[in-house]
Amino acid sequence: MQRIGVFICHCGTNIAGTVDVKAVAEALSHEAGVVFSTDYQYMCSESGQQLMREAIREHRLTGIVVGSCSPRMHEATFRKAAAAEGLNSYMVEIANLREHVSWIHKDMKEATEKAIILGRAAIAKVHLNAPLQAGESPVTKRALVIGGGIAGIQTALDIAEAGFEVDIVEKSPTIGGKMAQLDKTFPTLDCAACILTPKMVDAAQHEKITIYAYSELEAVKGYIGNFKAQIRRKARFVDETKCTGCGICTEKCPMKKAPNEFNMGFDKRGAVYIPFAQAVPKVATIDADYCLMLKNGKCGICSKVCGAGAIDYKQQDEIIEREYGAIVAATGFNPIDAKVYGEYGYGTCPDVVTSLELERLMNAAGPTNGTLLRPSDKEHPHTVVFVQCVGSRCTETDERGKPYCSKICCMYTAKHAMLIREKYPDTDVYVFYIDVRTPGKNFDEFYRRAVEQYGVHYIKGMVGKVTQNGKQLRVQASDLLAGEQLHINADLVVLATAIEPDKTARSIGTMLTASMDTNDFFTEAHPKLRPVESPTAGIFLSGVCQGPKDIPETVSQASACAAKVIGVLAKDKLTCNPCVASSDELLCNGCSSCEKVCPYGAITYTDKEFRGPNRTTLIRRVASVNPAVCQGCGACTVACPSGAMDLKGFTNKQIMAEVDAICK
Partner 1 sequence: MSHSNHATEQVLRSSGVDVRKCMRCGKCTATCPAFDEMEYHPHQFVYMVEKGEIEKLAASPSIYKCLSCFACVDRCPRGVEPAKLVEAVRLSVIRKQGQNHMSPDAIPALLDEDMPQQLFVTALRKYSK
Which stretches of the chain bind partner 1, using CB under 8 A? 343, 389, 393-395, 397-398, 401, 432, 434, 460-465, 476-478, 480, 483, 485
Least spacing, CB of residue 489 vs partner 1, in Å: 16
Q: Are 446 and 552 in contact (CB under 8 A)?
A: no
Cβ neighbours of 106 (radius 10 Å): 8
Burial label, 540 (beta-carbon count in 10 A; 0-12, 13-18, 19+) = buried
DSSP state string for 468-534: EETTEEEEEEEETTTTEEEEEEESEEEEEE-EEE-TTHHHHHHHHT--B-TTSPBPPSBTTTBTTB-
Q: Which of 522, 499, 500 is nearest to 510 (CA)?
A: 522
Phi and psi for 292 in degrees, rounded to 5? -65, -35
Q: Are 32 and 49 in contact (CB under 8 A)?
A: no
Least spacing, CB of residue 194 vs partner 1, in Å: 37
> Going along 246-344, which residue ranges are E strands?
258-259, 268-269, 272-273, 285-286, 318-324, 326-329, 333-335
Least spacing, CB of residue 499 vs partner 1, in Å: 16
Q: Are 415 and 186 in contact (CB under 8 A)?
A: yes
Least spacing, CB of residue 464 vs partner 1, in Å: 3
Between CA 563 and CA 397 the distance in angstroms is 38
Name the residue nearer to partner 1 (CB basis): 68 or 388: 388
Name the residue nearer to partner 1 (CB basis): 49 or 413: 413
Name the residue nearer to partner 1 (CB basis): 95 or 477: 477
Least spacing, CB of residue 436 vs partner 1, in Å: 13
Name the residue nearer to partner 1 (CB basis): 338 or 561: 338
Least spacing, CB of residue 394 vs partner 1, in Å: 4
Name the residue nearer to partner 1 (CB basis): 483 or 527: 483
Name the residue nearer to partner 1 (CB basis): 342 or 599: 342
Name the residue nearer to partner 1 (CB basis): 365 or 462: 462
> Going along 90-207, which residue ranges are E strands?
92-96, 136-138, 142-146, 165-169, 184-185, 190-191
Least spacing, CB of residue 335 vs partner 1, in Å: 17
CA dihedral 578, 227, 636, 508 (to 10 degrees): 130
Name the residue nearer to partner 1 (CB basis): 82 or 389: 389
DSSP state string for 342-391: GGGTTTTSTTEEEHHHHHHHH-TTSTTTT----TTT-PPPSEEEEEEEES
Name the residue nearer to partner 1 (CB basis): 369 or 397: 397
Least spacing, CB of residue 82 vs partner 1, in Å: 52
Between CA 27 and CA 355 the distance in angstroms is 68
Q: Are 598 and 636 in contact (CB under 8 A)?
A: yes
Q: Which of 598, 594, 653 is nearest to 622 (CA)?
A: 594
**H or E stretch covering 66:** strand 63-68
Least spacing, CB of residue 477 vs partner 1, in Å: 5
Least spacing, CB of residue 382 vs partner 1, in Å: 22
Name the residue nearer to partner 1 (CB basis): 330 or 475: 475
